[in-house]
Structure 1
Amino acid sequence: MQTPAAPLPRKGLSNILGNLGWILGGKGFGAVCSLAYLAVLSQSLGVRGFGHFALIFGTGQALVAIVGFQTWKTLVRFGAEAVHRQDWARFGRLVWLCGTIDAIGATLGCVLAGVIYYGFADLLDLNPDFVDIAFLFSCVLLWARQTTPNGIVRVLDRFDMATYVEALVPVGRLVAALAIMVTAPAVRNYLIAWALIDLLNALVYWVASARIAPYALRRRNFGPFSLTLREHPGVIGFFGITYAGSFLDALFKQGPLLAVGHFLGPSAAGIYRLADQLAQGFSKISQLLSRAVYPEFARARLANGIAGFRRLVLQVTAIAGGAGLIVTVLALLVGADLLALVGGAEFARGGVVLIPLIVGAAFDLAGATYEPILHSLGHAFLPLLARALAGLALVAAVLQLAGMGAVGIGWAVALGFAIAYLLLSLLVFVVLRRASAAA
């Protein structure tokens, strides 16, 4: 057995900025590709065709969130200590547990997809000709999830590798979109291409993970799961909490789109989706920042003590808040023109929908560090509580404002994100204050 290595001090902010630099490098390139293939899709399919594509894709993403556990967070939260001490057998057992849970979730998701598409497709006003391909597409998305290998790469600080692997998706989609546009532009063909690209990306992610963690992924580390659970007290509860958080995230990200499809039809859903895609492009920075800080917070808490951790939190939170303000100003200045440029004249009226979605994205970015902070301090339930309350507010607002059309649902989203930000800000302040007092 390997002797655990002595813990090394963490560099804190410099590590986070290094991680973020790799992520932004890849995602910045991916964002350009995404705008290009969105333009191809929206202009080659038209409003209604793009609306059908958006509803199928959004439903697939919602299914992934409903049955999928955020196992990458579990690997970072509970695997950080094993990696810190280079205990690869223990880390490997946790990896196999997470991978098994992902497989179970994908199986259940396929069953749920069958129930939704073959029993309730009319609720989304979905063309019956798309039911079969929509079901198969959702099944592929479920099995192509990369959350476990994503966690392996991130807990090992290999953000450079993640950048290269994840670049396959936007590049592949752009190449496929251009090829389909000049040959046979149709919803079915785009869905098939997207599914194949996601499967390829998942395969490459697993191969990359096996290369950087060969000892952890040995088959002898598979089970017994009872030992893994004993080695990581609280992991079951953490799985449950992160699952609920993923469900609530889907409520915020995919729920409004599905509501537009239900209340207003595929054409309105297409316009909303394009505006939402642009807004999420700006808010994507919040997800990237969260991914960059999550492993560093988990490990800095172990290595640097509460004083150093609190200093790191203040630095990163200030950066996130400033980024949120900058993103909002930029998006409001160029967002509407960008929407018209990407979607064409048919989608230009979505500019009024983009404004509230950008406001919501800004709140999401400003609070991007809060969940990793609370998780690293052992308060994983608190972000869930805040998002659950904000989710209830979102649902109530959607029901009240749906009569205003897509723009009303957009303002409901902005309200939900604002409430989540305020609640999380309060919780982080209280928890850090108590942790500092107890130190």
Structure 2
Amino acid sequence: MTTATTAEEGGALRRIFANLGLLASGKIGAGLLSLCYVVIVTHALGATNYGILILLHGYTTLIGSLIAFSGFHGVVRYGNFALQAGEHGRLMRLIRFMALLEIGCGAIAILIAMVLVPFIGPRLGWSADAMRFAIPYAFAIVATVRATPYGILQIAERFDLLGFHQLINPLVRLGGCLLTLALGGGLVTFLTIWLLASLAEGLSMWALGLWILRKMRLSHGLVGPVRGTIAENEGLLPFIVTTNVDITLSEMGPKLAPLTVGWMLGPAAAGIFSLAQRASVVLQQPAQMLANSSYAVVAKLIAQQDFKGFRKAVWHSAGVATAVGVPMCLILGTFADPIMHFIGGRSFTGSGTAWILSLTAAGRLLTLGTAPVSPGLIALGLPNKSINAKLMGNLLLYPALPPLLWWLGLNGAGWHALLQSAVIAGSLLWSFRVAVRRYKRGELEVAAV
């Protein structure tokens, strides 16, 4: 019995890291492509115009994160239960329901982003050209409206396609940047490239999801009713609302920080801070990939009532992630100044800029180490615990950012990012340990839907 259980636990962990490997193959390629286009755009625009580009894109994606609906956890959790039971009609009604909800919220987000441009742009120091382009740029929100097909690919375990999809946005950006490098162009040209890349990212995910859905050969087609979706999936509505809030809170902190820096210190400071975030994303991206690759596996373990295998998979994934992240964080901290100079050029270097990268990297390390814990809590049906952690880190600590910027200048943003990550990581670990203890005492029932 022990041997069989150990084999099942090892199998779950192997599946998580096999999925992670498929995602990482695409992400590594995307990272290399991103490095190339970031070097081009930062050297071409300088810190101020690059800051305007980042602020406009950050404003648009923040509105998308706040309003658009991300329900891939609901598609994966309830879709897996329906698929395990052979209820193809229930699965298709769920997918239709989530797709309509997501597309509707995305359309509302685009309209809101357009309406707020005249009020937000001047406060963030946008140039006249950026102000004129900001309204059509709202369609970049399409890149965030892709959670339903993302969930379909996870159910089908097509992590190879998810890895491939990560190359689309950086490929479009790099191709556009190389063309601009050859023919010339300024801020509006790069904004156009970023918009086209966002459209390609969102629409291509829908194309992949629909293609795989057809290949799954389910007994029910794509077109059909959605009536009864909430009734036949007990707890669906509160689950997708809370997981959507969880994702929104996760993304809000990183998106609010550059906007606040730009609001208080100007576009150039926002450009430097954003470049530090970009350089340290080598730690953030594995965290997101690990969370995404582990959720499909741990959700299946919960559906199979294998709690021991689930617990081992979460803790082992967290340990491996931390071990991998420590040397990467040390490299970023040790060579912070030359890294910033290489990527951005002279306008991105100066007194204190190396500290920004070091502090940001340390915060990313904490995020990487606890990446599997959040999907573990969601799979247990406790998304509120993950929400509470991110609520404390991203919202309750946000008021500390302006005073830190006023007191320490740009370095205040780095210390604030580290503080946020420490609070979120500590709260997630504590909540997961409590949930495990409650289960052992029989106080927590993990039921299949």
Shorter-chain TM band: over 0.9
- Which residue is equivalent to 1:266? 267
Deviation at 1:125, TM superposition (A): 1.7
2:155 is the alignment partner of 1:162: no
Q: Unpaired segments of 5 or more residues in structure 2?
A: 1-7
Is the Cα–Cα contact under 8 Å of residues 63 and 138 in structure 1 kept in the other structure? Answer: no
Greater displacement, 30-39 / 390-399: 390-399
2:441 is the alignment partner of 1:437: yes
- Which residue is equivalent to 2:4? none
Matches of 1:257 and 1:60, distance apart in 2: 13
Is the Cα–Cα contact under 8 Å of residues 70 and 145 in structure 2 kept in the other structure? Answer: no
Matches of 2:191 and 2:177, distance apart in 1: 10
- Which residue is equivalent to 1:334? 335
Alignment RMSD, CA only? 1.9
- When the two structures are superposed, what TM-score results if normalisation uses the length of structure 2? 0.91
Greater displacement, 166-175 / 255-264: 166-175
Greater displacement, 321-330 / 25-34: 321-330
Matches of 2:380 and 2:22, distance apart in 1: 26
Deviation at 1:22, TM superposition (A): 0.4
- Which residue is equivalent to 2:31? 31
Deviation at 1:89, TM superposition (A): 2.0
2:368 is the alignment partner of 1:371: no
2:430 is the alignment partner of 1:426: yes
Runs of 4+ in 1 over 4 A off after TM superposition: none
Is the Cα–Cα contact under 8 Å of residues 332 and 358 in structure 1 kept in the other structure? Answer: yes
Deviation at 1:111, TM superposition (A): 2.2
Greater displacement, 428-437 / 24-33: 428-437
SS of match in other structure, 2:441:
helix
Matches of 2:14 and 2:223, distance apart in 1: 37
Matches of 2:403 and 2:35, distance apart in 1: 32
Matches of 2:210 and 2:387, distance apart in 1: 32
1:402-413 matches, within 5 Å, as 402-403=405-406, 404-413=408-417
SS of match in other structure, 1:83:
helix
Which one of the candidate residues 355, 361, 364 is aligned to 1:361? 364
2:254 is the alignment partner of 1:253: yes
SS of match in other structure, 2:234:
coil
Q: Unpaired segments of 5 or more residues in structure 1?
A: 1-8
Question: For the structure 1 residues 391 and 207, does the alpha-carbon distance in structure 2 shift closer, same or farther, using more than 3 Å as the test?
Answer: closer
Question: For the structure 1 residues 346 and 425, does the alpha-carbon distance in structure 2 shift closer, same or farther, using more than 3 Å as the test?
Answer: same
- Which residue is equivalent to 1:275? 276
- Which residue is equivalent to 2:205? 205
- Which residue is equivalent to 2:3? none
- Which residue is equivalent to 1:234? 235
Matches of 1:143 and 1:23, distance apart in 2: 18
Is the Cα–Cα contact under 8 Å of residues 141 and 198 in structure 2 kept in the other structure? Answer: yes
2:394 is the alignment partner of 1:391: yes
Deviation at 1:144, TM superposition (A): 6.0
- When the two structures are superposed, what TM-score results if normalisation uses the length of structure 1? 0.93
Matches of 2:138 and 2:409, distance apart in 1: 27
Matches of 1:61 and 1:323, distance apart in 2: 30
Question: For the structure 1 residues 430 and 190, does the alpha-carbon distance in structure 2 shift closer, same or farther, using more than 3 Å as the test?
Answer: same
Matches of 1:392 and 1:167, distance apart in 2: 32
Matches of 1:254 and 1:330, distance apart in 2: 25
Is the Cα–Cα contact under 8 Å of residues 61 and 140 in structure 2 kept in the other structure? Answer: no
Greater displacement, 269-278 / 390-399: 390-399
SS of match in other structure, 2:349:
helix
Matches of 2:84 and 2:320, distance apart in 1: 27
- Which residue is equivalent to 1:5? none
Aligned length: 429
2:97 is the alignment partner of 1:93: no
- Which residue is equivalent to 1:305? 306
2:146 is the alignment partner of 1:146: yes
Matches of 1:363 and 1:336, distance apart in 2: 22
Matches of 1:96 and 1:320, distance apart in 2: 35
- Which residue is equivalent to 1:346? 347
Greater displacement, 151-160 / 386-395: 386-395
Matches of 2:395 and 2:121, distance apart in 1: 25
Cα deviation digits, residues 54-98 of structure 1 (max 9, x gap):
101111121111112221121112212123334322111111111
2:48 is the alignment partner of 1:48: yes
2:134 is the alignment partner of 1:130: no
Question: For the structure 1 residues 203 and 238, does the alpha-carbon distance in structure 2 shift closer, same or farther, using more than 3 Å as the test?
Answer: same
Whichever residue aligns with residue 130 of structure 2, its letter is: F
Question: For the structure 1 residues 202 and 142, does the alpha-carbon distance in structure 2 shift closer, same or farther, using more than 3 Å as the test?
Answer: closer
Deviation at 1:39, TM superposition (A): 0.4
Deviation at 1:179, TM superposition (A): 0.7
Matches of 2:317 and 2:440, distance apart in 1: 18
Whichever residue aligns with residue 428 of structure 1, its letter is: F
Matches of 1:88 and 1:202, distance apart in 2: 26
- Which residue is equivalent to 1:414? 418
Cα deviation digits, residues 369-421 of structure 1 (max 9, x gap):
11111011111111101111122443132022011221101211110110011
- Which residue is equivalent to 2:20? 20
- Aligned-residue identity in percent: 23
Deviation at 1:140, TM superposition (A): 3.0
Question: For the structure 1 residues 258 and 144, does the alpha-carbon distance in structure 2 shift closer, same or farther, using more than 3 Å as the test?
Answer: closer
Is the Cα–Cα contact under 8 Å of residues 133 and 188 in structure 1 kept in the other structure? Answer: yes
Deviation at 1:304, TM superposition (A): 5.2
- Which residue is equivalent to 2:113? 113
- Which residue is equivalent to 1:293? 294
Whichever residue aligns with residue 265 of structure 2, its letter is: L
Is the Cα–Cα contact under 8 Å of residues 251 and 391 in structure 1 kept in the other structure? Answer: yes
Question: For the structure 1 residues 160 and 86, does the alpha-carbon distance in structure 2 shift closer, same or farther, using more than 3 Å as the test?
Answer: farther
Question: For the structure 1 residues 335 and 23, does the alpha-carbon distance in structure 2 shift closer, same or farther, using more than 3 Å as the test?
Answer: farther
Greater displacement, 54-63 / 299-308: 299-308
SS of match in other structure, 2:397:
helix
Greater displacement, 399-408 / 283-292: 399-408
Whichever residue aligns with residue 61 of structure 1, its letter is: T
Cα deviation digits, residues 212-257 of structure 1 (max 9, x gap):
2125682443422xx1101212221122212222332232111110
Is the Cα–Cα contact under 8 Å of residues 153 and 209 in structure 2 kept in the other structure? Answer: yes
Deviation at 1:145, TM superposition (A): 2.5
Matches of 2:129 and 2:171, distance apart in 1: 29
Matches of 1:425 and 1:396, distance apart in 2: 24
Deviation at 1:166, TM superposition (A): 2.4
Is the Cα–Cα contact under 8 Å of residues 74 and 235 in structure 1 kept in the other structure? Answer: yes
SS of match in other structure, 1:254:
helix
Whichever residue aligns with residue 356 of structure 1, its letter is: L
Deviation at 1:26, TM superposition (A): 0.6
